[in-house]
Structure 1
Amino acid sequence: YYAGFAGGRKSILPGVAGRETVMNNHKMMTAPGVGIGVVDGNRLSEEMVEAVEKFCPLHFILNCVSDSSKHIVRVVGGHWYDAWREGIATFRKYNFAPISRKADVVFLSAGGYPKDINMYQAHKALYMASRAVRPGGTLVFFAELAEGYGHKVFEEWARRGMTHDEVIAAFTADFRFGAHKLFYLAQLAKECTILLYSRAGEEDSRLMFCEKCDLTDTLPSLVRKYGEDFTSYVIPQAGIVLPVEE
C-alpha cells in the first residue's frame, strides 16, 4: 500500500522481480511522498512504472476494483498504464471517504477473515484509518489475529521490546522487510493510542504498541478521556476505505 495503489505495474515489480530488486524498491517506503493513495511523486511507485517501461513491457492487464462491501464495481482492461489509472479513478470514487475533520476516536475493523488473520495483514486497516484520527486521539481496532504477528522478522523485532524511538532508529539504519510493520506501528503509536480487541495477549499487544482492551470499559474510558461529546468515526472495512480530509 505504500506504492499508492495496487494493480498495473505491480504485476512486474514486485510481481515477477527478483528479491534484491523488490527489497531495494521497498526501502523507499519511508521516503517523502510515499504512501497509500498517492502515485504522482511517489518514488516507490514511479520505480515500478519504470521497471515496466524499460525492462518488462506489459501488453495487457485486467484489474478488478471492489467497493467497501467487497462487490466488484468495475473491471478495467487494456494498456497497462491507462487501464490502471482508470482503475485508480474508480477506486477513488467508491473507496475514498471525505471527512470534514479528524476525530477524537476511530472505531475500525480490518474486515474479518482473512484480512485480520494476523497483524502483518491487518495492519493495513490501521494505517488507512489513521488518516481519520487527530493527534492525541484513539484508534479502537477490532481484529482477531488468530495467527498473531504473521511474519517471523516482524515478531523477532517486536520481541526485542524496543521503545517507539528505538524501533524507528533501528529500522531507519537497517531496513528489514517484515520489520516495517513494527516501524509503522511505532510511528502511529507516537501520534495516538491504539486499543486492540483481539485474541492477542496483553504482552503481545504491548509489544506491537497497542493496548489490549476490554469492551466493557472501552466506551467509559473514552468518555473520561475526551468527554461525552467526543467525535468519532466507524469504519467496518478499514482496509479498503481511505478517509480524505477536505
Structure 2
Amino acid sequence: MKTELTEIELPCGEGSLTARIPTRNIVCVLTRQDARGLADEREAITQSLRSPISSPPLRDLVKPSDKVVVLATDNTRPCPDDRILPPLLAELESTVPRENITIIVALGLHPPLDEAELSRKLGRDIVARYNVVNHDVNDTVYIGTTSRGTPVDINRRVIEADFRISTGFIEPHFFAGFSGGRKSIAPGVFSVRSAYHNHGYQMIEHPKTRTGILKGNPLHEDLVEQARMARLNFIVNVLLNKDRKITHVVAGHPFKAHEEGCQIEREIAGVKVPQRADITITTNSGAPLDLDLYQTCKGIDTAAQITRDGGIIIVASLCSAGIGPQAFLELHRSVASPKEVIRKIKQAEPIGVQWENQILARTQLKHDIYLVSSLDDRTVRDMLMTPVGTVEEGLERAFSVLGENAEIIVIPEGPLILPLLEE
C-alpha cells in the first residue's frame, strides 16, 4: 500500500525546499498567525514617530545642535532597515542637520559589513548620503557595572552622542526572551568583556533565560540595565509577517514601546502544542537567518522545546556563509560529546562564543540533530550533528531509530514561533 505523503514548504536560503512527510505521522504543523502587511509602511512609521508610545514626538526630543546616533541592525537580522531609515531620518532632519547624524551598524561581535553589504542592508542612497560606520568592539568606553556584575563597555560614538535611537525587529529570542529594544545597545554596541559576563555560563543556564520570557529573565534584565546606563533614548521596532512585510510599528520609550511590541509578538507567534514530538522538523526561517550554523541554533532551540527526550530534530538550514565564528566550530570540535562541551565551558570560561555552544550542547544532551545544509559532512560531524542530504533522508534514518510510528511535528519557521506546550 502506497504511503500518503504531505508536502510542506520549508524556507531555506533565499528560496524553499519541499519536504514530503508521511501524513499519518504528522501530529501538527506550527505556524504563526499571518498578520496583514501595512498598506503604507512609510506613513505608518512616520505616524509612530509623531505619536509614539510613552514619549513626546521624536522631533520634540532633539535639538538642532544635537549629535544623534541611529543604531541599525546587521545582516543576520531580517529587520528592514532600508524601509525604516528613510522616514526616520526625514523626521530627524526636520530638526537636526544631516551632518550631525551618524548611523552605527550594531554588530555585537559579528564581523563588519562591507560597502556592498551596507548598501543591501540599509539602502544604497542611505549609505551614500549619511555617515555610516560599523560598531568596533575595540573602541568602547567603560560606563559602569550592572547590579549583576556586568562591566558595561559601550561604543564611544554612542556615549559621546547627545541622542540615541535604535531600529529593531521583534521576534522570539532563545535566551533574551524577545529580540529588539535594548539589544541594539547590548549586545549591539558593547564589548567582548561585556558579552562574556552577560552571556556567561550561569546566566545562560538560568531556567528563565529562555524564549518568550522577559519577567525574571536575568539576562534580559541585565541587558535593560545596560541600555539604561547607555541612555538609549528612543526606539523604532517593527514586527514582520512571513513575506517580510511590516505588520506593526512600535516607536517611542525604549522599554515601554518594546514591551508593547513583545506583547503583540507573543500573541502572533504563540502556538499551542498538544504534545511533544518524537521527531521535529524545522528550519531557521530562510535567509538571512539561516546564513550560518551559529544563527541556526535559534531554530534548533525552538524545536528542542517540543521534542521528547531521546527524540530527533531534523533541521534544514542552507548555511551559505558557513559555520559562523570559527571559535564556535573549534569548541565543539575539540571534544567528543555535548557533555564535554558543557564541562569545558564551566571549567575554562570565558572561551570563544561559549553561549552558542552551551545552548546547542544542552539540546544535544537530549536529542540527536540531523542537518540538511550546504556544509561539508566533516564540519557537521565536528559539530556533533548528523549530515543528511534531504529531509526525507533524515526521516528515513529517524524512523529506523524510533520506529515507523514515530510522531512528527513540523515548524516551518523555527525561530519565529513561540511554542506553548499544553501537556
Offset, 1:187: 1.7
Query: Which amino acid is the alignment partner of residue 107 of structure 1?
Result: I
Contact 1:23 1:177 in 2 (8 A): no
Say if 1:8 and 1:219 are closer, same or farther in 2 by CA, change over 3 A. Answer: closer
1:97-135 CA deviation, whole Å, 9 max, x = no partner? 210111111111112222222101212111122112111
1:8 equivalent among 167, 181, 184? 181
Structure 1 position 234, deviation (Å): 1.3
> Per-residue CA shift, 1:125-151, capped at 9, x if unaligned?
111221121111111111122332110
Q: CA deviation at 1:10?
A: 1.9
Q: Which SS does the other structure have where 1:230 is aligned?
A: coil
| Larger CA deviation: 25-34 vs 134-143 | 25-34
Work out whether residues 331 and 352 of structure 2, in 8 Å CA contact, stay in contact via their aligned partners in 1. Answer: no
- Cα shift readout 1:183-220 (whole Å, capped 9, x = no counterpart): 22222111011111112222211111211124354333
2:357 alignment partner in structure 1: 182
2:266 to 66, 80, 92: 92
Instruction: Look up the match of 1:38.
Output: 213
Report the equivalent of 1:201: 376
Change (3 A) 1:50 1:208: same
Match status 1:26 vs 2:199: yes
2:302 alignment partner AA: M
Give the corresponding residue for 2:278: 104
Question: 1:73 matched to which residue of 2?
Answer: 247
Aligned to 1:235: 411
Tell me by how many angstroms 1:21 deviates.
Answer: 2.4
Tell me which of 170, 184, 192 is aligned to 2:344. 170
The CA deviation at 1:86 is: 0.6
What secondary structure, in the 3-state scheme, does the structure 2 residue paired with 1:105 have? strand
Residue of 381, 389, 399 corresponding to 1:223: 399
Tell which deviates more after alignment, 2-11 or 82-91: 2-11
Residue type at the aligned position of 1:108: T
- As a proportion of its length, which structure holds more strand? 2
For 1:31 and 1:160, the matched residues in 2 are separated by 25
RMSD in angstroms over aligned alpha carbons? Answer: 1.9
Deviation at 1:177, TM superposition (A): 4.2
Aligned to 2:296: 122
CA contact (8 A) 2:341 2:357 kept: yes
Q: Report the equivalent of 2:90.
A: none
How many angstroms apart in 2 are the aligned matches of 1:226 and 1:78? 51
Asked if structure 2 preserves the Cα contact closer than 8 Å seen for 1:165 and 1:186, the reply is yes
Secondary structure of the residue that 2:178 maps to in structure 1? coil
Structure 2 equivalent of residue 154 of structure 1: 328
**CA distance in structure 1 between the aligned counterparts of 2:213 and 2:383, rounded to whole angstroms:** 26
Q: Find the aligned partners of 1:123 and 1:41 in 2 and give their Cα distance.
A: 23
State the Cα distance separating 1:7 from its structure 2 match: 1.6
CA distance in 2: counterparts of 1:180 and 1:18, whole angstroms? 15
Aligned CA distance change for structure 1 residues 47 and 220 (closer, same or farther; 3 Å): closer
How has the CA–CA distance of structure 1 residues 161 and 46 changed in structure 2, closer, same or farther, with 3 Å as cutoff?
Answer: same
Q: Measure, in 2, the Cα distance between the counterparts of 1:131 and 1:45.
A: 19
Q: Is the 8 A contact 1:185 1:209 kept in 2?
A: no
| CA distance in structure 2 between the partners assigned to 1:160 and 1:135 by the alignment | 25
Name the larger-Rg structure. 2
Q: Given residue 230 of structure 1, which amino acid in structure 2 is its aligned partner?
A: A
Deviation at 1:32, TM superposition (A): 3.4
| Aligned equivalents of 2:310, 2:288: Cα separation in 1 | 30
Structure 1: runs of 5+ lacking an equivalent: none
Once residues 308 and 243 of structure 2 are traced to their aligned partners in structure 1, the CA distance between those partners, rounded to angstroms, is 26
Question: Is the Cα–Cα contact under 8 Å of residues 283 and 315 in structure 2 kept in the other structure?
Answer: yes
Partner amino acid for 2:194? T
User: Relative to structure 1, is the Cα distance of residues 80 and 101 closer, same or farther in structure 2, using a 3 angstrom cutoff?
Assistant: same
**What corresponds to 1:212 in structure 2?**
387
2-structure distance, mates of 1:110, 1:200? 15
Distance 2:308 2:208 in 1: 20
Letter aligned with residue 380 of structure 2: S
Give, as a single letter, the amino acid of the residue that structure 2 aligns with 1:23: Y
Q: Is the 8 A contact 1:154 1:180 kept in 2?
A: no
Answer whether contact 2:306 2:421 (CA < 8 A) is retained.
yes
Whether the aligned pair in 1 keeps the contact of 2:199 and 2:355 (CA below 8 Å) is no
Contact map agreement 2:210 2:217 (CA 8 A) in 1: yes
- Report the 3-state secondary structure (helix = DSSP H, G, I; strand = E; otherwise coil) of the residue aligned with 1:80: coil
The TM-score with structure 2 as length reference comes to: 0.54
